[in-house]
Structure 1
Amino acid sequence: MHSLSKRCGAEFFGTFWLVLGGCGSAVISAGVPNLGIGYAGVALAFGLTVLTMAFAVGHISGGHFNPAVTVGLVAGGRFPAKDIVPYVVAQVLGAIVAASVLAYIAYGQVGFDLKTSHFAANGYGEHSPGKYSMTSALVTEIVLTAGFIFVILGATSKGAPAGFAAIPIGLTLTLIHLISIPVTNTSVNPARSTGPALFVGDWALAQLWLFWAAPIFGAIVGAVAYRLVSSAPETTQT
């Protein structure tokens, strides 16, 4: 068992990679004329960040990289509640540092404007890519986070094939983005939402509450749902 400081360090770097890779693909690569990767490319980038870092440091920290995942694993009986706060702090700090690096890189382009670029921030209403309502955003984030936690708990259960959990988890995050980028720009991760929102400010900070509340509630729903169908009780990881 690794020390809490090492586990939090792994969560910091894992979340940093997720935000830099996922949001970076949206800010830098998605809209390049004739070469842009589009929504599908951004979705794949987010999935790849989780896949790669889960293999890199998942054996150290469990590979959460997301406050909603941490809460969901607690609700699912897989993670000690006493470690929620240090994990979430590490994740949010990793996201903020990644957003800082991304902002610095993006400002190297002539004419770049952080606010008008949207900077991969999550939003609803007029700030939703597809102009979806707050209710649509709320339902989307709750349901998709619940599904994400359900897959995570199943893929990491004792009965699942050992050593392959990162693959279905990364693919699930890709699928989630393919569904919901037009609705909210896809959060399912409060840390990922917080980093860009701090730089955009204004509306992004005003709407940030939804991208904390909905994923965390959804994570608890997903954990409860998995425990209802799982026949094998599993002890909390300490």
Structure 2
Amino acid sequence: MKPSLRHSLLAEALGTAVLLAFGTGAAVVNEQTHALGHGGVAAAFGLVVLVLIQSLGAVSGAHVNPAVTVAFWAAGRFPGARVLPYVGAQLVGALAGSGLVKLLATEGSTLGATLPAHGPGQAFGIELALTFWLMLVILRVTAGAKEEGLLAGLAIAATVGLEALVAGPLTGASMNPARSLAPALVSGHLAYAWLYVVAPLAGALLAVAFDRLLQLKPSLDTRSTP
């Protein structure tokens, strides 16, 4: 049975809340205790993405990311009528997750907000590149029969963890407008919020265009092989 829109939106809201609770929650815990380290925070993001894909993928696709939803629509793999409801559910879930994180954060915490380390120009380019590669991986490993396989989930989660590990100190490695907007709104760090909306969307759409270039076309040579 195909999940209804109501079930899908509930899954997207819940999934994005859990992403923020465990992902940015790990950043806040490390901020307070230094027990996890940067690698631990990156691992937390990768692990929670894997859990969400495996648990909610069959209900909503486990997008938990407006850039992913828009890119799937642009690729012709998601109905346009569901884009805005999905994005709305993701933003509501992200705000709920950041609200939970705020309960355990100390005064003045950024709540895991993503901020450029060396200026907005560099951060924009990095976030665009990170989201491009993440979305390209998603498109390639979820094609056809592989859409809900464990290996697809592992590949996507590994990509998130790897990119967070390498680029986290430079930009926060967001790749997700909802993941960045929610802590920015709740903590009041809004100066660079635009960057973490525009760059991931641009990177995801670029991945759609590149994915089309990688798609194999049937050979025009119909002669039988001797």
- Report Cα offsets for 1:59-95 as digits up to 9, x if no partner: 0001100001101111222111221100000001000
Match of 2:224 in 1: none
- Where structure 1 has 5 or more consecutive residues not aligned to the other structure, the ranges are 107-111, 234-238
**Take 1:41 and 1:31, find their aligned partners in 2: how far apart are those partners?**
14
Match of 1:177 in 2: 164
Match of 1:14 in 2: 15
**Take 1:61 and 1:160, find their aligned partners in 2: how far apart are those partners?**
16
**Take 1:162 and 1:81, find their aligned partners in 2: how far apart are those partners?**
21
Aligned 1:55-134 pairs, distance under 5 A: 55-106=54-105, 112-113=106-107, 115=108, 117-124=109-116, 128=117, 132-134=118-120
- Normalising by structure 2, report the TM-score: 0.91
Deviation at 1:231, TM superposition (A): 1.9
**Take 1:148 and 1:232, find their aligned partners in 2: how far apart are those partners?**
24
Q: Which 4+ residue blocks in structure 1 deviate beyond 2 angstroms?
A: 159-162
| Residues 110 and 184, structure 2, Cα contact 8 Å, conserved in 1 | no
**Take 1:232 and 1:102, find their aligned partners in 2: how far apart are those partners?**
48
Match of 1:217 in 2: 202
- Does the residue aligned with 1:56 lie in a helix, a strand or coil? helix
**Take 1:160 and 1:176, find their aligned partners in 2: how far apart are those partners?**
23
- Normalising by structure 1, report the TM-score: 0.86
Match of 2:141 in 1: 155
Deviation at 1:162, TM superposition (A): 5.8
CA RMSD of aligned residues (A): 1.6
Deviation at 1:29, TM superposition (A): 3.1
Deviation at 1:207, TM superposition (A): 1.2
- Residue identity in the other structure for 2:12: E
| Residues 45 and 161, structure 2, Cα contact 8 Å, conserved in 1 | yes
* Structure of larger gyration radius: 2
Q: Aligned pair in 2 of structure 1 residues 150, 232: CA closer, same or farther (>3 Å)? A: farther
Match of 1:29 in 2: 30
- Does the residue aligned with 2:28 lie in a helix, a strand or coil? helix
| Residues 30 and 42, structure 1, Cα contact 8 Å, conserved in 2 | no
Q: Aligned pair in 2 of structure 1 residues 162, 212: CA closer, same or farther (>3 Å)? A: closer
Deviation at 1:105, TM superposition (A): 2.2
**Take 1:102 and 1:30, find their aligned partners in 2: how far apart are those partners?**
12
Match of 1:200 in 2: 187
- Report Cα offsets for 1:185-233 as digits up to 9, x if no partner: 12100001111111221xx212101100000011000111111101279
- Where structure 2 has 5 or more consecutive residues not aligned to the other structure, the ranges are 219-226
| Residues 146 and 218, structure 1, Cα contact 8 Å, conserved in 2 | yes
Instruction: Report the number of matched residues.
Output: 216
**Take 1:216 and 1:81, find their aligned partners in 2: how far apart are those partners?**
16
| Residues 75 and 224, structure 1, Cα contact 8 Å, conserved in 2 | no
Percent identity, please: 38
- Residue identity in the other structure for 1:13: L
